[in-house]
Amino acid sequence: MSDAVLELAGVSKVFGAGADRLEIFAGVDLRVEAARKVVITGESGCGKSTLLNIIGGLEAASGGSVRAGPYQIDSLDERGLTAYRRGYLGLVFQFHHLLKDFTALENVMLPAFIAGVPMREATERARSLLADVNLEHRASHYPSQMSGGERQRAAVARALVNDPALVLADEPTGNLDPANAATVRELLFSVVSARRRALVLVTHDREMALAGDERYRFEGMRLVRQ
Ligand SMILES: Nc1ncnc2c1ncn2[C@@H]1O[C@H](COP(=O)(O)OP(=O)(O)O)[C@@H](O)[C@H]1O
Ligand SMILES: [Mg+2]
């Protein structure tokens, strides 16, 4: 049972010190097996983004162990963290973070190209992923020419281009109207399922939680399995 895609044990987070000390969560345990989709909910401000940033190696935990496959995140240096993020993770945020001077196709293929994948293969991967999120017809469009939902679908495609073991999504539909949110949610879950990747998604939307294989919720400072 040591082959979990992600394993958190006793993870805690404290911001500040002295009078400014703010304990966000403590004793967080979470185990994600390959190809499982885990949804974490909780009120705004409870620490969902903080937890995802810790898993993503973007922020350090105050205590506990964070391991993702072969990576012991809490003991990696910057170089190790970069390798982890590039080689193991796909990230989707509330805001799409697409580069405005690049087309949808270029945005999706860029992480593969940066990782050393030859241009032809990177292009093929990007085209295939754009098709998976129903954006084939938008390949040569710039972000400014796309709707909010389309941009977020391009961001989903981009997150998968390096075939990550684990996809992290932070309120990926938080900025969309309900109809677009439903489309993005369905496409995200279907593309992750089709490629048998694991997903950890955080949201304050209880509806979204129903789409997960496993559900957790922040209750006070604890993460509780539902
Ligand atoms: N860098 C920081 N310094 C101090 N407090 C922070 C910092 N980042 C987040 N917080 C606080 O941590 C709590 C959790 O934030 P966050 O993880 O963004 O919540 P959520 O994503 O669930 O809305 C909030 O009270 C927030 O104000
Ligand atoms: Mg948040």
Q: Please state the pTM of the whole predicted model.
A: 0.95
Asked whether the beta carbons of 1 and 32 are under 8 A apart, the reply is no
**How is residue 85 written in tokens?**
């993020």
Pocket mutation for ligand 1, best pick of 50, 51, 170 (most atoms within 8 Å of C-beta)? 50
Distance CA 158, CA 167 (A): 11
3-state secondary structure string across 137-177:
HHCCCCHHHCCHHHHHHHHHHHHHCCCCCEEEEECCCCCCC
Superfamily the domain 36-60+77-225 falls into? P-loop containing nucleotide triphosphate hydrolases (3.40.50.300)
pLDDT at 53: 97
Ligand number with the minimum distance to the CA of 45: 1
pLDDT at 2: 54
Domain boundaries, the chain: 36-60+77-225
| Contact criterion met (CB below 8 Å) for 96 and 143 | yes
Q: Nearest ligand, CA of residue 217?
A: 1
Residue whose CA is at the smallest distance from ligand 1 atom 25: 45
Ligand 1 atom 3, closest CA:
15
- Using the mean position of ligand 1's atoms as its centre, give its distance from the Cα of residue 51 in Å: 10
pLDDT tens-digit profile, the chain (226 residues)? 457 999 999 999 999 999 999 999 999 999 999 999 999 999 999 999 999 999 999 999 999 999 999 999 999 999 999 999 999 999 999 998 999 999 999 999 999 999 999 999 999 999 999 999 999 999 999 999 999 999 999 999 999 999 999 999 999 999 899 999 999 999 999 999 999 999 999 998 777 888 899 999 999 999 999 9
Dist CA 28 CA 11 (whole Å): 5
Task: For residue 47, give the ligand 1 atom closest to its CA.
Answer: 17
Residue closest by Cα to atom 20 of ligand 1: 45
